[in-house]
Amino acid sequence: MFTVNEIQGFVSQGIQNLIKSYDHSRLHGPFDYALSTGGKRLRPVLCLLSYNIFTDNLPPAVLYPALGLEVYHNFTLLHDDIMDQADTRRGQPTVHKKWDVNTAILAGDAMCMLAYKYISKCEPRVLPMVMDSFHKAAEQVCEGQQLDMDYETQLFITEDDYIDMVSRKTGALIACSMEVGGLCAEASPRSVNNLFNAGMALGRAFQIQDDYLDVYGDPNVFGKSAGTDISNNKKTWLLTYAMRNATGENLAELNRLLSHKEAPDRVEQVVLLYNKLGAREAARKQIAFYLDSALNAMDSVDVRSGRSVVLQEFVKSLIDRNR
């Protein structure tokens, strides 16, 4: 089996080779910039780790799809940044700020097509299943982004609404990444399904952790100002918890702050309400719940004892993070 560091090295080298192979294009600059500005690259790593629990090899037939998933993820970020009118991504100017909106749209479109090209390089006998998994995830990601934008103009959403949104926007592609690893390894349907379920639970935990860090993380480490989601009226798990548990004066104050984006010290006042309502501790418990769900699903994968330890440790590290 390969270590996480070794697999991360394969992914990094693969991305560099992919960028180099694209140097003929007029879109090479933004393409290179989007893929080279960091990021956790967790989706290709999860794909390869999921494959590696069944076999000690990592052939091109799984390396290419893993890289394709990363390219697709970065395509969605390019378009999300345009829709969100974001100025920075990972501490750097977004592509549409460094170039322009039209260039960012075209670079994203090209990345989407390249993602399909790479994902389709899996073994022909698993191609229909791999593409079906990817198509479903891609559709879910788009629907999740639309829900995210729709919810910005809604004063109230339920926790179920939130979980549905993040399951689509974040969970779907993470679940697909692990599922594709199992499919490329030609694992049993039961194992593939358990990998998918693990990825979906991980995606939910990962997004709630992201929400948590936006409020309680160190801005210098997390890479953006504290309370950005509050400023942008994003519907986070912390907010849905506060909406569900606030009563009386607390509820009236929360509604006032949500209705008046220009209120002085709005972010600080919302965070004070979160703290008063116990949202910080509740978020940590919910993150732990979904992490346990992911680990339990991985325990049910049909492999020899110890084969999934590296994957499980990597999953734990994604939640035990400060950025």
Structural contact between residues 133 and 189, judged by C-beta atoms closer than 8 angstroms: no
Over 90: is that where the pLDDT of 297 sits?
Answer: yes
167 versus 233: the higher-pLDDT residue is: 167
Please state at what angle helix 237-245 crosses helix 279-299, rounded to 10 degrees: 120
Number of independent structural domains in the chain: 1
Which tops the pLDDT comparison, 228 or 293?
Answer: 293
Looking at residue 306, its pLDDT comes to 87
Distance CA 245, CA 234 (A): 18
Average pLDDT for 227-246: 92
**Could you tell me which of 311, 321, 317 has the C-alpha nearest to residue 49?**
311
Rounded Cα distance between 30 and 14, Å, is: 18
* Host domain of residue 133: 4-319
More confident residue, 220 or 289: 289
Provide the pLDDT for residue 153. Answer: 85
What does the pLDDT read at residue 152? 84
Do the Cβ atoms of 96 and 107 come closer than 8 Å?
Answer: no
For the chain, the average pLDDT equals: 93
This prediction's pTM? 0.94
pLDDT greater than 70 at residue 225: no
Q: Please state, in angstroms and rounded to a whole number, the distance separating the CA atoms of residues 209 and 203.
A: 10
Domain with residue 241: its CATH number is 1.10.600.10
pLDDT digits (tens, 9 = 90+) for 26-49: 999 999 999 987 778 999 999 999
Q: What percentage of the chain exceeds 90 in pLDDT?
A: 82
Q: How many residues does the chain have?
A: 323
Percent of the chain with pLDDT over 70: 97
Number of C-beta neighbours around residue 175 at 10 A: 27
pLDDT at 111 over 90: yes
pLDDT reading at 235 higher than 90: yes
**Is residue 61 over pLDDT 70?**
yes
Residues 172-209: tens digit of each pLDDT: 999 999 999 999 999 999 999 999 999 999 999 999 99
Higher-scoring residue by pLDDT: 86, 182:
182
pLDDT at 4: 96
Q: 126 is written with which tokens?
A: 């698993």
Give the least confident one: 51-55, 56-60, 226-230.
226-230
Mean pLDDT over 125-133 rounds to 98
pLDDT, residue 223, reads 52
Q: Can you tell me the distance from the alpha carbon of 215 to that of 204, in angstroms, rounded to the nearest whole number?
A: 17
User: How far is residue 12 from each of residues 35, 96, 111, 298, measured CA to CA in Å?
Assistant: 10, 24, 17, 25
Q: Residue 2: which of 51, 39, 40, 62 has the closest Cα?
A: 51
Q: Which of 78-92, 219-233, 285-299 has the highest mean pLDDT?
A: 285-299
d(CA 178, CA 47): 5
Place 99 in a pLDDT band, splitting at 50, 70 and 90. very high
114 vs 125: CA distance, rounded Å: 21
Q: What is the pLDDT of residue 252?
A: 95
Do 51 and 181 contact (CB within 8 A), yes or no? yes
